[in-house]
Amino acid sequence: MAYYTFAFFLLFSSSHLFVRPTRSSILPSVPVDRSTACNLTLDPDFCNTVLPHRGFHNLYDYGRLSLAKSLSSAKEMLDSINTFLARPSVLPPNAILALQDCRLLSGLNVDFLTAVVNTLNDTGCLLDHQAQKLHAILSAILTNHQTCYDGLQVAASAWFVRNLGTVPLSVCSKIYGLSLSLFKNWIPKQTCSSHKGQAHSRSPHRRALLFHEVGVGRHGELPLRMSAPKRELFERWSGRRLLQATDSVLVHDVVVVSPDGSGNFTTIGDAVKSAPNNLKSSNGYHLIYVAAGVYREYVVIPNHTTYLMMIGEGINQTVITGNHSVADGWTTFHSSTFAVMGEGFVAMNMTFRNTAGPIKHQAVAVLNGADLSTFYGCSIEGYQDTLYTLSMRQFYRDCDIYGTVDYIFGNAAVVFQSCNVYSRLPLHRQSNAITAQGRTDPNQNTGTSMQFCRFLAAGDLTSSDGTTKTYLGRPWKKYSRTVIMESFMDSLIDPAGWLPWNGKFALDTLYYAEYNNTGKGSDTDNRVTWPGYHVISSDDAMNFTVRNFIQGDNWLPHTGVAYDSGLF
């Protein structure tokens, strides 16, 4: 790959004025006029108001310019929110909660954009994993902003319209989308990665590590590598002897949470607060071992608490539970019992629960916005909006997930593997929709992929009168994307398979697909006939595997969690 400089090309041969490159022919280093660059974006009119109107620049420099404007807009957004929150007496309570969500999300966007700009300033070309990371971040920035906007509209729409006109919500959304679009167009097809040429073809299914016979999780003991004192502490508390393993998970430190006071902490929240900031994967995990017990607390793992691993004693043994809901005045974002934003988070052998029930509407058990995050052997339990896969790249393996309406929702790039997906009994006359994927921009790398999963009825739905309809999903946002492959669907799945959100909204822009599923509910003969619905081939399905969709081969081996890289 050529080395692309950041210098603007102010001089341009007049002969190029007669050539209008196509999308496929424009290289990041080739200077083009503003109009040509803007025609590659979703909103050329807006793009033409942002990019310089004189001279010729290359896509790389146009992209960097839009990112600088995105960062400026994010800071302006955060300043506006802080200005309103500085005067809480003039705000209705629901607006305060929504603005607090926006402050957190906008702060994340400022941090994310600063990191992107610094990365591009520090390197001449991107390694493949860097490019994938930046794509995930730029997708998440748009998602964070949309989440803020949605929360304000739902929680305080009338007040919002009267008083928040100066907050640059629509401008921020457009400039973030422009940056994402330009990034997608100038990122090289082949990067300067030292791994160029590595095989990425279809491969047989495989596991990351061999697990030992006894211990953590449903498939054996996680091979942990730590210092002798920490190893002794873990073995004493867990009652598990850790077998030596050459290929094992590095542990930086271990603390114990026990409700009887015999550990380092009695609450999970206090243990999280004690964790070091900004660990890197090379440092090893900060491991929190959570003894059996019911923990009635609301846990938040912030953005700066990275590479934290949390291991419990098993499903229904180590339980974190809460009951916050929208009906009781919380925003959807802040209704979560457990929320994680810190990169590299791993949870194992735990139950996360929201007990608000179906009558309380949106009530999140787990909210996950953490890049390279993993849940293994966990149970995530709620009713409406159980699991909020907010953003970034995520992986769930051997988990049980319970809910009713839109109970796996959000806009992450996420793969579920070998999970049990249990639909519960909703309110009278409600239908179940298992997924509600929220992609708002076709350039986002996001979507929900479910492989080797089992779609089943929970006990209360099985014992009902059988009138409840259950669907695989519905399009929450315009470019909603969900793929279900090599999974078992029981008879609870309606023959139509998928449910509209509102009339014809998104039916021609969504991407819903099924591949090689089994069970009574998997018959595609009577599925919806929307333009965006597909029964796909193995070649298309490969795009949504762990290897290709979330780049799992690059990071899942470090977690020690079993996974399948490709198709079966």
Q: Which residues are catalytic?
A: 406
User: Which run of H or of E encompasses 534?
Assistant: strand 533-535
Q: Tokens 């930046």 identify what position?
A: 134
CA distance 173 to 171: 5
Contact 327, 361 (CB under 8 A): yes
- Quickly count: other Cβ atoms within 10 Å of residue 328's Cβ: 12
Residue 543, exposed/middle/buried by CB under 10 A (0-12, 13-18, 19+)? middle
Residue type at 299 in one-letter notation: V
Q: Is 168 exposed, middle or buried (0-12, 13-18, 19+ CB in 10 A)?
A: middle
The residues facing 354 across adjacent strands are: 322
Contact 243, 212 (CB under 8 A): yes
Question: In the structure encoding, which two tokens stand for residue 203, read together?
Answer: 């491969």
Residues 6+ away with beta carbon under 8 Å from 412: 368, 369, 389, 390, 391, 392, 393, 394, 446, 448
Q: What values do phi and psi take at 243, rounded to 5?
A: -75, 145
In SS3 terms, 264-308 reads as: CECCHHHHHHCCCCCCCHHHCEEEEEECCEEEECCEEECCCCCCE
User: 550 — phi, psi (to 5°)?
Assistant: -120, 15
CA distance 264 to 117: 40
Which has the closest alpha carbon to 454: 402, 389, 394?
Answer: 402
The helix (run of H) or strand (run of E) holding residue 450 is: strand 447-451
- Angle between helices 59-85 and 93-122 in degrees, nearest 10: 150
DSSP 436: E
Tokens standing for residue 66 = 């839009």
Neighbour order of strands in the sheet with 293-296: 293-296, 318-322, 351-354, 379-381, 400-403, 420-423, 454-457, 488-489
Judged by DSSP in three states, 176 sits in helix
How many other C-beta atoms lie within 10 A of the C-beta of residue 218? 16
Rama region for 237: left / alpha / beta (φ>0; ψ in -120 to 50; rest): alpha
| Angle, in degrees to the nearest 10, between helices 169-186 and 59-85 | 150
Residues present in the chain in total:
568
Alpha carbons 212 and 217: distance in angstroms, whole number? 11
Structure tokens of 286?
């900060």
Alpha-carbon distance 501 to 10, whole Å?
A: 49
